[in-house]
Amino acid sequence: MYCIVTRDPIDTAGLLRRVRSDADGAVLIFAGVVRDHHEGRAVEALAYEVYEEMAVEKIEMICKEVASRFEVGELAVAHRVGELTVGDISVVIAVAAPHRDAAYKASREIIERVKGEVPIWKRERYSDGGEVWRDGAVPDVPEAEKP
Amino acid sequence: MYCIVTRDPIDTAGLLRRVRSDADGAVLIFAGVVRDHHEGRAVEALAYEVYEEMAVEKIEMICKEVASRFEVGELAVAHRVGELTVGDISVVIAVAAPHRDAAYKASREIIERVKGEVPIWKRERYSDGGEVWRDGAVPDVPEAEKP
Amino acid sequence: MRVKCLFFAAYRDIFGAEQIDLELPEGSTLGALIEDVRARAGVCAAVLPRQLVVAVNREYAPVETVLRDGDEVALIPPVAGG
Amino acid sequence: MRVKCLFFAAYRDIFGAEQIDLELPEGSTLGALIEDVRARAGVCAAVLPRQLVVAVNREYAPVETVLRDGDEVALIPPVAGG
């Protein structure tokens, strides 16, 4: 398991090599990319901010839970933060598995949970000059334990 | 759309770059890899054979149909043939899309159809010396038109 | 008329050829060609599936298909790409 | 006791700080800290969600959580990674 938050470009091919082992018949790479529009507005650039220590722990926990539920081999997640422009890869999820069904399911679950639970935020800068913190997902907070 | 059958190693990172455009927020790369076992037997190598002209046409048709059903951008499929050993990438499906849901669905449908419909065969060589044409899927044949 | 018939993978082993040219009466169907070809499998005919999958000019085609001079027919064993 | 309170993204803009140290009575709950912090938002208090999501020592935590000296509390705006 390899989970990082980084300010540098993500080495996608390196993550593929890192997760694959001889027992795996499938490797799935999801790459999230900065696109040029959001809800009808032209996007020029993004700044990602992170609560780094917690984010890495959260991503590791997500990977552990997903690995326990699906028959997968190695997992890797790399999330980029800092200033990104259109076309830059913001996140890569790499999943290796003996069979493809588990790879697709695990990959999908990891990206959904990364988007929904990990303390990372993005500020979008639009071509029309505006700049806002992009609206996001509200993480679930565990119930208090009964006394 | 870029569909090839090749005897050379597949350039996965090149396919990612090839499909991505500024309108896409997600790129999904599925890589099929030769693994070291099949139904309990240790696999040493594989030879892929292809009916090349038909295979390329079939893959193109699959991509066209999938592109018409899901909101995706560019698609690329590369299938390697010839002699492969454990760890070699045999097939790559690259799908770019504005949103990830379409990317996952389209990618999955393409790989299922490539495995079920495209005239490609593999001969497995086992560590115990045996060698067999791997059992496969029987493609659907269209019904005859009523006269 | 003459059609080309291609054999791949396990079928190439069974028929001992990659390709044969067949002379058929005008208006022959794919079904007739399949019977003709099946007869050439000799002792191996038993291992052929009861319903052979066949492509005509690179498209999967039903047995009722009427063949034409110059057609490229291919017997397609179960496929195993990916 | 003293706890550290971190603000990120939109909340950093609202509170005008990345981090503040808070002096709280022993045994204070996270809920009490949230009330204290909310009072510091001034005119911006109205734009804060009614239920703030908060992490204690890097884990999302319920408002009933009893804080300890040295805890690291973070107010977590809606997340938007990926």
Q: What is the pLDDT of residues D31-78, one digit of tens each?
A: 999 999 999 888 888 888 888 999 999 999 999 999 999 999 999 999
Reported confidence tier of residue A112, pLDDT bands at 50, 70, 90: very high
Task: Assess D47–A contact: CB distance below 8 Å, yes or no.
Answer: no
| Residues A119, D58: Cα–Cα separation, whole Å | 10
Q: CA C49, C52, C56: angle at the middle one, nearest 5?
A: 165
Query: Which residue would you say has higher pLDDT here, B146 or A55?
Result: A55
- Nearest CA-CA distance, residue B78 and chain C, Å: 10
Reported confidence tier of residue B104, pLDDT bands at 50, 70, 90: very high
Q: Say what the pLDDT of residue B131 is.
A: 92
- pLDDT reading at A105 higher than 90: yes
Q: What is the pLDDT of residues A23-37, one digit of tens each?
A: 999 999 999 999 998
- pLDDT reading at B147 higher than 70: no
Q: Say what the pLDDT of residue C69 is.
A: 98
* Neighbouring chains to C with at least 3 Cβ pairs closer than 8 Å: B
Which range of A1-10, A130-139, B135-144 scores highest in mean pLDDT? It is A1-10
Q: Say what the pLDDT of residue B143 is.
A: 84
Chains D and C touch, contact meaning at least 3 pairs of CB atoms under 8 angstroms apart = no
- pLDDT reading at A70 higher than 90: yes
Reported confidence tier of residue A147, pLDDT bands at 50, 70, 90: low
Task: Assess C78–B contact: CB distance below 8 Å, yes or no.
Answer: yes
- Mean pLDDT, residues C10-27 taken together: 95
Q: Which residues lie below 8 Å from residue B85, measured CB to CB, with a gap of 6+? A: B34, B44, B45, B46
Q: What is the pLDDT of residues B64-82, one digit of tens each?
A: 999 999 999 999 999 999 9
- Nearest CA-CA distance, residue D1 and chain A, Å: 22
